[in-house]
Amino acid sequence: MKYLITIVSAFLFWGVVQAQVIRINPMQSQQDLKLAQQYYKNGEYEKALAVFEKLFEENSKNKYYYQQYLGTLVALKELDLAKQLIESQIAKEPSNPAYYVDLGNIYKQQDMDADAKTEFDKALQYISQDQMAARNVANTFTKIEEYDYAIATYEAARAANSNRPDLYIYEMAQVYSKKGDFDNTVKYYLEYTQFNPKNIQLVRNYFQRNLKEEKQYDILQKQLYKRIQDQPDELLYPELLIWLFTQKKDFENAIIQVKALDKRFNEDGRRVYDLGKAAIIEEQYAAAEEAFNYVIDKGPGNLYLNAQAELLRASKLKLITYPTYTEEEVLQLDTNYMVFLNEFGKNASSASSIIDYAQLKANYLYDVDAAITLLDELIEIPSVRSNLKAQAKLYLGDYYLIKDEVWEAVLIYGQVDKAQKDDILGEEARFKNARLSYFIGDFAWAQTQLGVLKAATSELVANDALDLSVFITDHLGLDTTNTTMEMYARADLLLLQNKTKAALVTLDSIDRQFPGHALADDILMQRAEIALKERNYDEAIVYLNKVLEDFPTDILADDATFKLGEIYYFYLEDKEKAMEQFQNVILEYTGSLYTVEARKHYRQLRGDLLN
């Protein structure tokens, strides 16, 4: 049945195309035509046949009626009648290749492959300079999965139009793709880009959708290298090669190529700079640093300041993302920020770098006063954009909270809320104030604010608000007082303030005074976080495993599993154990918010190519 549908659709496809160029005789009854089409659509082929036959007999030159009539005969399996119809058309137009395809198709359906081949070969003999006719024939061959004949049709048409070397290249690439011949698919798509460089994105889109295996990347890469070698002055192919490397997340080789282009064409480093920014997005920070250093080494120019700033950002993000950093690396980054600000000054152009530097000071060098001073100075610079000032104030509020100057933090968050009321930054400020209310034990007011923030424009703010609101709701009222929640919230704040020992003392007090409390799994997670902060990875693993042992069905089980995977992946570099934990998230916690990220990490560890 599937094969029959394919055959019928092929006939109708050819007819629809013909209908685009042949007008139906206006004297014919449109009502009869619509009726026949409705019959056909409903599967009432006998009724449809009677009407189509009548219409065709009255308008035998109309290709649309012919195809409708033929398609209905095939649907009814009246193949002998269908063959007679086609042969009568051939007698009238013996040089029309489409009829031989139709006839070959009938033989093919009857398993008369030799006869089908004879007719298909005849069709090729009548391919002429008529581009539309050739395209229709090739499309029909493609529909019935006769890909070699479709390709042969295009080749014959190209030979007949030898003055058009660009003709049918794109169509041939598509047919080779359907056939599964990736070598020739790549060949013709690359050939197409040479004649149509403005359509390069069309080709990129194809490769982005269809590059799935390493051998496919290798085929494209080899053909690109060959074209670069044969056409050294053609810019298109090196750019495609760079794009290919970025698709593979192979920024090391991408940078080699883009630096070579920059040198060959004596450019200003823009390509390298842009690739460095792309590397940051993909968390390829070492590659980003290499790119920005290259631009910086070219000397002062339009990109010099920006490259310096992006280099600092890449280094800071690498430190945050891969926290196996050393104290020496933190101190070196501190020095690099100071050198940068001494060279370029504290102004609107360096504002983002100042915010990042303050973050380094507060969270990694634990010099909160220096961080506050940096942000105070930034806020006083008149030309700094309002959104950057608001962002700086959000961090400033955090740093006052670290200093335990709670009301100063409340005031600053409130300023951002008022100034950026309809902006995501305003929502972040409101969430920080709600969280602050939680920290100091004002749970009722925190819940009031969080209830509004659940509908925040920012998905991140909305999710954070929902999580904190659910946590408060789940653990309030479990005792006659809110003492345990107040103690836990205090430990949360102490951890934020980098007072890990005090936080542990508070958590110990909860366990000692309220053994078996409902916060037990949360306390274990907090202990794991503290152990991580102190780089005691083995201890963190013990706490996380205890969460899974004692609370295997509780809400934090997926958090603990994912966190174990991250420890084995990023900190201990134990590939097998990391894969095991990420796989557990994927298989056992299908509704987890971590599933997508766990699958990404798992595939990276397995060596998959990620698009």
pLDDT in tens, 561-582: 999 999 999 889 899 999 999 9
Instruction: Return the axis-axis angle of helices 182-195 and 214-230, rounded to nearest 10°.
Output: 40
pLDDT of res. 21: 36
Domain 523-611 has CATH 1.25.40.10: yes
Q: What is the DSSP letter of 284?
A: -
Topology of the domain covering 1-167:
1.25.40
Contacts of 122 (CB under 8 A, 6+ apart): 97, 100
Predicted confidence (pLDDT) per residue in 347-368, tens digit: 999 999 999 999 999 999 999 9
Torsion sign over Cα 424, 430, 434, 440 = positive
Residue 221 pLDDT exceeds 60: yes
Please list the alpha-helical segments (H only) found in 126-249: 131-143, 147-160, 169-179, 182-195, 200-210, 214-230, 236-247
Residue 456, by phi and psi: left (phi above 0), alpha (psi -120 to 50) or beta?
Answer: beta
Indicate the pLDDT class of residue 26, thresholds 50, 70 and 90: low
Of all residues in the chain, the percent with pLDDT exceeding 90 is 70
Indicate the pLDDT class of residue 481, thresholds 50, 70 and 90: low
The residue type found at 102 is: D
- Spatial separation of the C-alpha atoms in residues 608 and 264, rounded to whole Å: 34
Domains of the chain by residue range = 1-167, 523-611
Closest by CA position to 254, among listed 216, 282, 219, 215: 282
pLDDT of res. 290: 96
**Longest Cα pair distance anywhere in the chain, in angstroms?**
101
Burial degree of 572 (CB within 10 A; 0-12, 13-18, 19+): middle
Of all residues in the chain, the percent with pLDDT exceeding 70 is 94
Residue 10 pLDDT exceeds 60: no
Indicate the pLDDT class of residue 44, thresholds 50, 70 and 90: confident
CATH topology match: 1-167 vs 523-611: yes
pTM of the model: 0.78
Please list the alpha-helical segments (H only) found in 282-367: 285-297, 304-321, 327-344, 351-363
- Spatial separation of the C-alpha atoms in residues 241 and 34, rounded to whole Å: 53
Residue 249 pLDDT exceeds 80: yes
CA angle 500, 501, 505 (to 5 degrees): 115
- Spatial separation of the C-alpha atoms in residues 571 and 560, rounded to whole Å: 15
Q: What is the DSSP letter of 498?
A: T
For the chain, the straight-line distance linking the first and the last C-alpha, in angstroms and rounded, comes to 37
- Spatial separation of the C-alpha atoms in residues 360 and 381, rounded to whole Å: 21
Mean pLDDT taken over the chain: 90
- Look at residue 269 and give its three-state secondary structure: coil
Predicted confidence (pLDDT) per residue in 422-467, tens digit: 899 999 999 999 999 999 999 999 999 999 999 999 999 999 999 9
Predicted confidence (pLDDT) per residue in 53-78, tens digit: 888 888 888 888 888 888 888 888 88
Closest by CA position to 584, among listed 572, 604, 602: 602
Q: CB of 485 within 8 A of CB of 475?
A: yes
Predicted confidence (pLDDT) per residue in 73-126, tens digit: 888 888 889 899 889 989 999 989 999 999 998 999 899 999 999 999 999 999
CA angle 306, 312, 316 (to 5 degrees): 140
Indicate the pLDDT class of residue 606, thresholds 50, 70 and 90: confident
